[in-house]
Amino acid sequence: MIEITGGSGPVWNQPLPSVTIAGHMTKRTSLLALSCSLALTLSALGQAPAPSPNPIVLHAARLLDIKAGKLIKPGEILIQGDRIVEVGSTVKHPAGTEVLDLGDRTLMPGLIDAHIHLFLHPGAEDLQTVQESVPERTITATLAARDDLMAGFTAERDMGTEGAGSADSAVRNAINEGRISGPRLRISGNAINILGGHEDAIGYNPAQHVLANADYANNADELVAVIRQQFKEGADFIKIYETGADSIRDGKLSTPYQYTEAQLEAAVKEAARLSKHVAVHATGEPGTLYAAQAGVVSIDHGDQLSEETMRVMKDRQIFAVPTFTIFEYFAEHAATPERSAHEHQILDLKVEEFKKQIAAGIPIAVGSDVGPFPHGTQARELVLMVKYGMSPLAVLQADVLNGAKLLGWEGQIGSLEPGYLADVIAITGDPLTDISAVTNVGFVMKGGTIYKK
């Protein structure tokens, strides 16, 4: 229970009242402290808090200038409403400004995860999508969105509800309307798949008619029809399964493609008609090349890419989204030793191929495929990308700068600059020397609203 006493009229216009939260009276404190307490309590209840009407200055020992690739010491950010006004070692402190000193931390842009599944949780993925109702899975998604935000991810791209249809549009809309807490979202609804393809409930009794975790489209005309339906239901972009299932043969990845280049091109053109994009799940050749030549916006997973595919991706600035964390998780949590050995084999191949992708200079964004592993833990992806060959700065730039571009928010998020949305986190440590610092997020602000302090 939250009870506010003292004064009359709107609380923001009154002398600071006393606050009783869950039966405990607090001492009179600063207006910003009150707003933080209310924000955190409301966030815990699932309701999104509101931004402070007063200017806020965030102060910390360090601030990451992501574009310059350096730290500013100390760092301050002046925020008014949902926007950043000024950034530097010191900034203006207008009348009425509340200063929040975050101490020995690093201020940086909110993290971005370009490949998530809000409607999944750890456990047998094929069973949860069959046994759990869409309303139940939607509740799961709202909790997952909150967990991701609390971990510092202020923007994400949901790569398919895995059978929950367009329910992700409801979650996105509720976040945008301030009814629940969560990251900014770009959502795709159900992914698209061929009959008998990667997500088509393979292994079940056919007489039971178990539904696929994706929408069927078997040719170009059906792709266009499904895409139009998904956009009608609120999708921001389209996700297509292009390859699978995967196996290793003679040290190389073998994975059947699902759509021809011409079919994918029809999908890309239909999405472009509405100024939208197509992203693909594609792990290897020739499906990855077909996707690149068709002009998709990203190739997710991309375990093994040919030189020609990487050339096309670099020329057309098509993003690779590696998703190491899910591969690591599956390898370490496999049901049998044989399955574990298979997952480790694919991960080892993926690591070696990733080094070639870095050398080829293709654009890379950060996506974890969180969902099958616990939401709120996906900062592990940045740690693994450094482990497998990228510098901390390159990974951070891939995450927030490339992530903002991939999600269509370039110039609005991803950097701490005047005019940008105030999506700010504070972490313990220096991420330029120890990337694992991003796993220790102690402060989260999205759009000028404090969600974690």
* pLDDT band with cut points at 50, 70 and 90 for residue 23: very low
Helix, strand, coil in percent for the chain, rounding step 5: 35, 25, 40
Q: What is the pLDDT of residues 70-113, one digit of tens each?
A: 999 999 999 999 999 999 999 999 999 999 999 999 999 999 99
Question: Where does the chain hold its CATH 3.20.20.140 domain(s)?
Answer: 111-406
What was the pLDDT predicted at 46?
56
* pLDDT band with cut points at 50, 70 and 90 for residue 328: very high
Residues 6+ apart with CB under 8 A from 122: 372, 373, 374
* pLDDT band with cut points at 50, 70 and 90 for residue 63: very high
Q: How far apart (Å, rounded) are the C-alpha atoms in residues 371 and 281?
A: 16
Residue-averaged pLDDT of the chain = 90
pLDDT over threshold 60, residue 22: no
Q: What is the pLDDT of residues 412-427, one digit of tens each?
A: 999 999 999 999 999 9
Question: Where does the chain hold its CATH 2.30.40.10 domain(s)?
Answer: 2-110+430-452
Does the bond joining 220 to the residue before it have cis omega, within 30 degrees of 0?
no
Q: How far apart (Å, rounded) are the C-alpha atoms in residues 446 and 95?
A: 23
Q: Homologous superfamily of 2-110+430-452 in CATH?
A: Urease, subunit C, domain 1 (2.30.40.10)
pLDDT over threshold 60, residue 5: no
Q: What is the pLDDT of residues 33-61, one digit of tens each?
A: 444 444 444 444 456 787 788 999 999 99
Instruction: Sort 107 into a burial class: Cβ within 10 Å, 0-12 / 13-18 / 19+.
Output: buried
What was the pLDDT predicted at 53?
86
pLDDT over threshold 80, residue 191: yes
What is the SS3 assignment for 75? strand
| Sign of the C-alpha dihedral computed for residues 121, 122, 125 and 128 taken in this order | negative
**Which amino acid type is present at position 422?**
A
Out of 3.40.190.10, 3.40.50.1860, 3.20.20.140, 3.40.50.300, the CATH code matching 111-406 is 3.20.20.140
HEC states along 371-406?
A: CCCCCCCCCHHHHHHHHCCCCHHHHHHHHHHHHHHH
Q: Which pTM does this prediction carry?
A: 0.89
Q: How far apart (Å, rounded) are the C-alpha atoms in residues 126 and 202?
A: 10
What is the SS3 assignment for 232? helix
